[in-house]
Structure 1
Amino acid sequence: MRRGTWKRSLFAAAFLAFWLAGAGGQAFAAEDSTDRFVDGTVINGLGVTGMTAEEAKAFIESFYQGGYTLKIRDREGKQETIHDTDIGYSLKVTGDLEAILQAENDGGRISGPDVDNRYEVEVAAEYDEKRLRAELLKLSFVKNARETKDASITPYREGMAFEIVPEVQGNDLDVEKLEAAVGGALRAGAEVLELSGTDCYKTVKVHADDPGLISLCDAMNRCADMSVTYVFGDTEEILEGSEICRWLEGADETGILVDEAQAAAYVKTLANQYDTYGMPHDFLTAQGDQVTVTGPYGWKINQAAETEALIQAIRAGENTEREPIYEKTAASRSGNDYGTTYVEVDLKNQHLYLFEDGSCILDTPFVSGNVSKGWTTPDGLYYLYYKQTDKVLRGEDYETPVKYWMPFNGGIGLHDANWRSSFGGEIYKNSGSHGCINLPPDAAAIVYEHVYKNMPVICHGSSGI
């Protein structure tokens, strides 16, 4: 419920007879009751002669109850009317009528044509905001208004250039501003609201000759001649301008608008084709066997980040060559993504091979996880997390210091095992580790010297043990 205070000037000629009847041509002191207004008393334009303060209050409020209307006139001269009963409109006297009566009594209750007994008191107008909004939305010049449109750029049309669409100045109203203006008129008790004198009409903000809009249109047309080239090692994927133009949705004050969904779909196709992370990998073992390993290793495009980067590249409007933004990277884009430098862990034969640039520089036996206790070291293709010296390995029932520690699969890693006197063979079956690869100390030192963070570690052969 909204309310406001206002003062209304003398206007109701029909009510003059109410207090002029019987008045003489001179002032005189009334001897009537002191709890009633003297002859000729007018409050807010309404005669209240002979009324008590309470009666006058009720009379003034009832005058506006069920009869008040506000005419709203648009700038084209069309007029609509808001009725008080449609919006729950009412008027309450908030001024002090008793003070006026007391002033008349203190002044000797003088009346007559030569005495000015006209007064103004504050009143409060109240109405239902929700009902008012509903009524405003019914107005013909709100419902049937012509929409104001800024100048814009045409959407993509096959084989056609982007063009500027001229602005349209309509006669539609900003409903929020209209509601505020009407509310002000209601609270003031106005009879007419001229919309031409308000800021309620929507206006064009961008014209066809706007330099920024012209520049954006030119930039969109240049997109037809641009391309984005993605590089995947020796392979390229080219996003042509003819396809880019299909993604353009126009422009705003920030620049060219690119359909994010289409850009994301394109990046997804690249990921589907070129991602290798978590995928099965063919691997030729040091023993010459062809095996397949799968694990958390490989190339993986960061699709969200790359979609945003692609959109920005398109907005720049220039030819560009780029690699995608990756969430995970691998050693190589040519041939096998794990490259030619890696650690091979042959679980079946209990041998580790260290390869650098395709050459085996170390071949050493080891002891893997204890099969009899269910601690078999799993197959997989992994990144080496890091390497560290002088590490204490701890578990539920052990605490073992090692000189070299190189983890790659959770708590599983490569490390020296100076407590063992022999390695290889079938030791792992009943006297193996908790899952780690136990290496001879000298071999562990060599491995430690050559490995590095994210180096591929390839484990295979567990299914055969």
Structure 2
Amino acid sequence: MKRIALGILVALALVYGGGAYYFSQHTFPNTSFNGEDRSYESVSELHSYRDAEKPVQITGRGGKELSIPAEDISLKKKPAGTPELAQNAVAWPVAFFNTYPYQVEYTYEYNEEQLGQVLSESVFMQEQTDPVNASLQQEEDGYVIVPEEVGTKIEPEKLQQAVAEELDQGNTVITLPDTAYVQPAITQEDTALQEEQAFFNSLYETKIVYDFEDREYVFTGQTLIDLYDKTADGYEINYDRTRAMLADMATETDTFGQDREFTTYYGNTITIPGGPSVYGWLMDVDSTTDEFIGWVEERHSEVTTPFYFHKAMNRETDEIGDTYIEIDLDDQWMYVYLEGELIDEGPTVSGQPSFGTPTPVAVNFIIDKMKDRVLRGIEPESGEEYETPVDYWFSINWSDVGIHNSTWRTEFGGDIYQWLGSYGCINVPDHLARTIYDYIPIGTPVISY
């Protein structure tokens, strides 16, 4: 019995000693690295490369994912450095009843050519969307910045570089960084874009209004922006384009020298030629342009009127208004209106056609009002000078045609003008001359037809 017991003790000692020696060179049972079973492995080989079991998982933009089996790129791994094992070889018997989990960092090696091939054929290189630059978008009250869109366009070299950098850092679960993708050239943080937005919006806050009483011309926002040219130094207002815009306004609103419709005393609408007329509005486009550009550059808002070479009595579309003198050359009759009321009327004698001095069909205006004027000129038939005193004189154009009383006449109207007419002026009885002098202001339109 003693021999048997001794034999058992020797055997146990040998087993124990052999186990202690073995586990001084190998890992304990129930040893794991990051959940992977590494039991009974040679300690000297723990830091050697071995085939990786898990695939490389890559996630990118647009929900794209890729799983690369380790063998497709010859992926191998080893712990970074030599793991420090918390095991005592002499206590190996109890190891079967314990667990020894370790968290370790791995380093990887792989075949770069295989990795490049897999990535070049991957989902990341398919159905790519280009990045979209941040931009300005016009809205009702100005411009807003539309943020950039990053897209999914990626370059093979950058893709492989991004994956390689992650693998080199020991990561096999990879989210592609922004640097792997083609980036928008302009983002919403771009200083130049923000400055352009501020520039445009300052023009939306600027409003220049030309008031024509019954209508307005409003220049603001995009209309002002379109006047600028982009240069190397920023934006510069284009003089010619600005002047052309205001010249269009002049074309639409100027009436000087333009044919115009007129409703006569009898309610007939007639067209009076603009050529002989001196009444109407004529804009000074150059001066208006200079002032306009100054206001725009200063971001100065204003309600104003243009500069004019010539002005009429009323700025509304109906520039004749309700105070005017109407002369019917066929009927040889004058109507005097004040604020829409017919305050006087009577016969006239106009220019004699046979002298070559007919009263022009035109829209003119009262240029001045005088009393006790001496009219001087040359008689068409004799060529002799004449001097004729009148009590009232009203110039109506720039060719010495006017309205005046004629004390030497005892009759007016009818066809007197055909054989005893004037040299172009409109002769009127005293009462009409007094009415005009007393009630009708300078600038009042005179319509003869």
**What TM-score comes out, normalization by structure 1 length?**
0.50
Aligned to 2:29: none
Q: Residue 223 of structure 2 is aligned with which of 243, 256, 260?
A: 243
- Say if 2:300 is the partner of 1:318: yes
Q: List per-residue Cα deviations over 1:314-344 (Å, max 9, x = no partner).
A: 0121333222222222233335211110111
Aligned to 2:248: 269
Kept after mapping to 2: 8 A contact 1:220/1:256: no
Amino acid at match of 2:396: F
Q: List per-residue Cα deviations over 1:191-217 (Å, max 9, x = no partner).
A: xxxxxxxxxxxxxxxxxxxxxxx9999
Aligned to 2:282: 300
Aligned to 1:412: 401
Q: List per-residue Cα deviations over 1:217-268 (Å, max 9, x = no partner).
A: 9666512432322222222222232231232347999x98421111101101
- Say if 2:317 is the partner of 1:338: no
Q: Residue 399 of structure 1 is aligned with which of 370, 387, 391?
A: 387
Kept after mapping to 1: 8 A contact 2:333/2:345: yes
Amino acid at match of 1:404: Y
The answer for unaligned runs of 5 or more in structure 2 is: 1-134, 146-193, 379-383
Aligned to 2:93: none
Q: Distance in 1 between matches of 2:287 and 2:196?
A: 25
Aligned to 2:210: 230
What fraction of aligned residue pairs are identical, expressed as a percent?
31
Kept after mapping to 1: 8 A contact 2:358/2:424: yes
Aligned to 2:446: 457
Amino acid at match of 1:240: T
Q: Distance in 2 between matches of 1:402 and 1:223?
A: 59
Match runs of 1:70-81 below 5 Å: none
Check 1:439–1:413 CA distance in 2 against 1; reply closer, same or farther (3 A cut).
same
Kept after mapping to 1: 8 A contact 2:214/2:317: no
Q: Distance in 1 between matches of 2:260 and 2:218?
A: 27
Aligned to 2:329: 347
Check 1:216–1:157 CA distance in 2 against 1; reply closer, same or farther (3 A cut).
closer
SS where residue 318 of structure 2 aligns? coil
Q: Distance in 1 between matches of 2:308 and 2:428?
A: 34
Q: Distance in 1 between matches of 2:227 and 2:137?
A: 12
- Say if 2:405 is the partner of 1:425: no
Amino acid at match of 2:392: Y
SS where residue 334 of structure 1 aligns? coil
Q: List per-residue Cα deviations over 1:336-386 (Å, max 9, x = no partner).
A: 211110111111111111001111111111111112222211110012110
| Larger Rg, first or second structure (1 or 2) | 2
**What TM-score comes out, normalization by structure 2 length?**
0.52
Deviation at residue 289 of structure 1 after TM alignment: 2.4
Deviation at residue 439 of structure 1 after TM alignment: 1.2
Q: Distance in 1 between matches of 2:263 and 2:370?
A: 29
Q: Residue 349 of structure 2 is aligned with which of 363, 367, 370?
A: 367
SS where residue 360 of structure 1 aligns? strand
Deviation at residue 428 of structure 1 after TM alignment: 0.7
Q: Distance in 2 between matches of 1:338 and 1:158?
A: 46
Check 1:406–1:328 CA distance in 2 against 1; reply closer, same or farther (3 A cut).
same
Q: Distance in 2 between matches of 1:252 and 1:329?
A: 43
SS where residue 372 of structure 1 aligns? helix
Kept after mapping to 2: 8 A contact 1:226/1:319: yes
SS where residue 327 of structure 1 aligns? strand
SS where residue 395 of structure 1 aligns? strand
Q: List per-residue Cα deviations over 1:291-327 (Å, max 9, x = no partner).
A: 1113222222210011111101101213332222222
The answer for unaligned runs of 5 or more in structure 1 is: 1-155, 163-213, 461-465
